[in-house]
Amino acid sequence: MHKSLESASIPSEGAVRWTRAAGSRGPWVHNLVAALFALCLLTGLVLGSGLVEGIVGHREFFREAHVATGLAALVLGLGGMSRLGGSAMVSMTRQLRTWRGEDQAWFETWRSTLRRPAYGHSRPNAGQKLAYATIAASMVVLAVTGLILRFFSYFPLWMRSGATLSHTLFFYFLTMVILVHIGYVLASRWRE
């Protein structure tokens, strides 16, 4: 095991987690983006499933709601990571964007043992940073491909086909990443 990981210790129960250091806006922005994503997921389910659409009906309403919730989640997420989210959110975003030697050691230890190594809660670990990058990039890809699908008449067929495939694949990938994220959060809370 890497030396910095051997000496890393899990802080006491009273320690403040790095996510709580984002101030009062951090959890609020995170939870609102999560709720918007859940609405986007449900409206997408109605659009993508003929059975559900047949039961619920109103395809146009769900299409517009899907586009609106998707764009709102993207704008709110990007706004929360910028200065609009406050200085604490900006510093938290800066921490998430930097990759240190400790992160590389954490990742290599996790990859070789398939267990999450000990890491101080005062800053995000490599797994959290990778999840952040994946979620942010996927949201941008979903927004761009979603706009191509929404305004399809302006784009050639090959681009619409690629957008459909990309939107579907990134949706499944992002859903998987978010479910793993939720699983780690619940496991972490359970251990505390």
pLDDT at 166 over 90: yes
Query: What is the value of pTM for the model shown?
Result: 0.71
Please list, in sequence order, all residues whose beta carbon lies within 8 angstroms of the beta carbon of residue 95, skipping any fewer than 6 positions away: 18, 123, 124
Higher pLDDT among residues 120 and 151, named by residue = 151
Once rounded to an integer, what is the mean pLDDT over residues 160-178? 90
Q: How far apart are CA 34 and CA 77, in angstroms?
A: 9
Q: How far apart are CA 43 and CA 30, in angstroms?
A: 20
According to CATH, the superfamily of the domain at 22-191 is Transmembrane di-heme cytochromes, Chain C (1.20.950.20)
pLDDT at 54 over 90: no
Show contacts of 71-76: CB within 8 Å, 24+ apart.
71/143, 71/146, 72/36, 73/33, 73/36, 73/37, 73/40, 73/139, 74/139, 74/140, 74/142, 74/143, 76/29, 76/32, 76/33, 76/36
Once rounded to an integer, what is the mean pLDDT over residues 99-124? 75
Once rounded to an integer, what is the mean pLDDT over residues 83-104? 68
